[in-house]
Amino acid sequence: MNRTALAALLADVSAGRIGVDAALERLRHFPFEDLEFARLDHHRSLRQGLPEVIFCAGKTPAQVAGICEGLVVASGGFLCTRATEAQAQEVRARFPEARWDEVARTVHLRRSGLEPLSATPVLVVTAGTSDLPVAAEAAVTADACGARVECLNDVGVAGLHRLLGETERLSRAGAVVVVAGMEGALPSVVGGLVAAPVIAVPTSVGYGASFGGVAALLGMLNSCAAGVTVVNIDNGFGAGVAAARIVTRPGGATA
């Protein structure tokens, strides 16, 4: 139940097109639905503009599919993150139209009628191909939040000319998500080139002294470029949500 659907339901009741009992039936699981193993927060879309997202790690395939069913009834779609192939197969057996992205580890059933809410794109930038799983999660998430998404891959500081040749794409972005491992230098470089907010995502890509992404995290937190903010290691989901809110929020970076 999102803001648009609730407003339409109240209008139908007010106009007499639907009875009170029927309206109450539609709101039966509002604001949350107890599945015993999970409590679905159907109020979240009203509070935050995005329905609850399913973090699949630690859940059985049947649990993930059951949560998806509840979300479809309430909001018309769902987004699953950190999904395994077994979880994706279980979900797609019930919702064949859902899209399984093996790289992003996401399963996404787009809500009907959801169109990009901003002409200004979110640009997701990767330092290297090894960063693609986290970047793809950010891209799918931003898309699911209603943002228009573009991707720019493998433009890390080891070959800086690859990035400098894309200044036009960088300049037209409303928010830039920069995903990098190793020493995590790329967000500082991008931050020095663009006026848009930069969301840095450290990844756990690197050799032993990278400490599973801690080196990149610390490098990004110590960025000398203004306007760079940082999410947790491998948190493509958090970066995607934040970037989408920047470009789709009324009065935000819209064109």
Taking only Cα atoms into account, the Rg of the chain, rounded to an integer number of angstroms, comes to 20
**∠ at Cα 182 (100, 232), nearest 5°?**
60
Give all domains of the chain, ordered by start, each with its CATH number.
Answer: 3-109 (no CATH), 122-248 (3.40.50.1970)
Asked whether 190 and 199 are in contact (CB, 8 A), the reply is: no
pLDDT of residue 22: 73
The rounded distance, in Å, linking the Cα atoms of 138 and 145 is 11
**Would you give per-residue pLDDT tens digits along the chain (255 residues)?**
556 666 776 787 788 888 877 766 666 556 666 666 676 676 666 676 777 889 999 999 999 999 999 888 877 889 999 999 999 999 999 999 999 999 999 999 988 766 666 779 999 999 999 999 999 999 999 999 989 999 999 999 999 999 999 999 999 999 999 999 999 999 999 999 999 999 999 999 999 999 999 999 999 999 999 989 999 999 999 999 999 999 987 655 544
The rounded distance, in Å, linking the Cα atoms of 168 and 199 is 19
CA distances 185 to 128, 172, 200, 202, 240, Å, are 12, 22, 10, 10, 20
The rounded distance, in Å, linking the Cα atoms of 199 and 242 is 8
Cβ within 8 Å of residue 117, ≥6 positions away? 146, 147, 247, 248
Distance of CA 83 to the CA centre of its chain: 14
pLDDT of residue 79: 95
pTM of the entire predicted model:
0.82
Asked whether 121 and 147 are in contact (CB, 8 A), the reply is: yes
Asked whether 210 and 182 are in contact (CB, 8 A), the reply is: yes
Q: What is the DSSP letter of 110?
A: P
Nearest CA to 221 among 233, 235, 205, 236? 233
Phi (first) and psi of residue 171, to 5 degrees: -70, -25
pLDDT of residue 59: 95
Asked whether 40 and 52 are in contact (CB, 8 A), the reply is: yes
pLDDT of residue 40: 67
